[in-house]
Amino acid sequence: MPALTVTEHIDNAVRKIDRSTAIDHWDRNLGRYDAEELMSEVLGRKLTKGLLDRVLDGTSKKRFAAMVARRVKGEPIPRIKGHYPFRGLDLLIRDNVFVPRASSELLAKEAIKALRRQRGSQVAVDVATGAGPVALAVANEVRTADVWGVDISTDAAQLGKDNAHRLGLGNAHFRAGDLLDALPRRLRGTIDVFTIHPPYVLGSDLKELPREIREFEPLVSLTDGSDDGLGLVRRLAAEAHDWLRPGGVLLVEVGTYLSRRTQATLRAAGLVDVTWTKDELGVTRVVSGRTPRSNARTAG
Ligand SMILES: C[S@@+](CC[C@H](N)C(=O)[O-])C[C@H]1O[C@@H](n2cnc3c(N)ncnc32)[C@H](O)[C@@H]1O
């Protein structure tokens, strides 16, 4: 068989991916996007015209074929690549840990803004941190801040640690535990910002999720088992008063459809100045509230 060019390998892969019944084909060009992204990953660079016309070498050919075979079986692209870009950071991804989403960049941005308004020592805690995207972006962009990421999954906490180490972010610390159990007690009353991108899918909605999410994301990263998807947020809002400094902020990332209920949850927990902001795509809301500046709680 004659040696094929990069373009010809991509075209063959597009045909295979397009035929796959294990993928939700939400865009008719998905096969091409995926094949090009995988080829670019194999070659370690952008696909230029000159590159596309070259014959693909044997090692790259094998690697590309293996990646395409995984994609055809339904595996999401970031899991195949093993890394994901988040606010300029290249984050490692592993099985059993939720793949970060670009939509969470807004949560990180809001946390960074809040921290930069703060004089003196800055402490941020990212609850349900997963691979640590939000915690790591905050630690990277506010180097003076002490940043903690906590997650019930030991795999997630380990991945956060490994990502921090790889990125040289000595101000980012990761611990495994339920909600805030793993945080050092000395942080009580000192935290400036809590962030959380919780598992907010309703149990009854799980079967409606795209297969790539349902089959490849850990269940604990999708749902907390509560009736309204806000069980973890409710628990955090209740505990926030003991951990945030007066005037400290809680930032919650949820789907737009949960925005109002999340705001009501924060108010019911006695947080004040409850408001929200949205991302450019309009799919995510970051709902925020803060503890009163004096110690007296405001009734919900
Ligand atoms: C939607 S994922 C978000 C992960 C990460 N923040 C991100 O944006 O990529 C939700 C995370 O919540 C974690 N989680 C679920 N229940 C938890 C609990 N009780 N305490 C701490 N983390 C929890 C899961 O392990 C998962 O990593």
* Domains of the chain by start residue, with CATH: 6-81 (1.10.8.10), 94-290 (3.40.50.150)
Please state the atom number of ligand 1 nearest to the C-alpha of residue 178.
20
Residue 31: per-residue pLDDT: 97
Residue 147: per-residue pLDDT: 98
Lowest-confidence region among 23-27, 81-85, 148-152, 236-240: 23-27
Residue nearest (by alpha carbon) to ligand 1 atom 9? 100
Residue pair 218/153 in contact by the 8 Å Cβ criterion:
yes
Please state the atom number of ligand 1 nearest to the C-alpha of residue 153.
25
Residue 2: per-residue pLDDT: 74
CA of 46 to the centre of ligand 1 (A): 33
For ligand 1, pick from 91, 93, 97, 98 the residue to mutate: most ligand atoms within 8 Å of CB. Answer: 98
Residue nearest (by alpha carbon) to ligand 1 atom 10? 221
DSSP for residue 223: B
pLDDT tens across 192-230, in order?
999 999 999 998 899 999 888 999 999 999 999 999 999
Please state the atom number of ligand 1 nearest to the C-alpha of residue 222.
1
Sheet containing 272-278: order of strands: 172-176, 145-151, 122-127, 191-196, 244-255, 284-290, 272-278
pLDDT-based confidence at 300, cuts 50/70/90? very low
- Counting residues of the chain whose pLDDT is more than 70, the rounded percentage is 98
Please, what is the average pLDDT of the chain? 94
Q: State the helix-helix crossing angle for 105-116 and 133-141, rounded to 10 degrees.
A: 40
CA of 195 to the centre of ligand 1 (A): 11
For residue 70, is pLDDT > 90? yes
CA of 13 to the centre of ligand 1 (A): 34
pTM: 0.94
CA of 246 to the centre of ligand 1 (A): 26
Q: Please report, in angstroms and rounded to a whole number, the separation of the first and last CA atoms in the chain.
A: 73
Residue 204 corresponds to which amino acid? S
Nearest to 13 by CA among 49, 66, 52: 66
Residue 127: per-residue pLDDT: 98
Residue 299: per-residue pLDDT: 43
pLDDT tens across 241-255, in order?
999 999 999 999 999
Residue 1: per-residue pLDDT: 63
Residue 228: per-residue pLDDT: 93
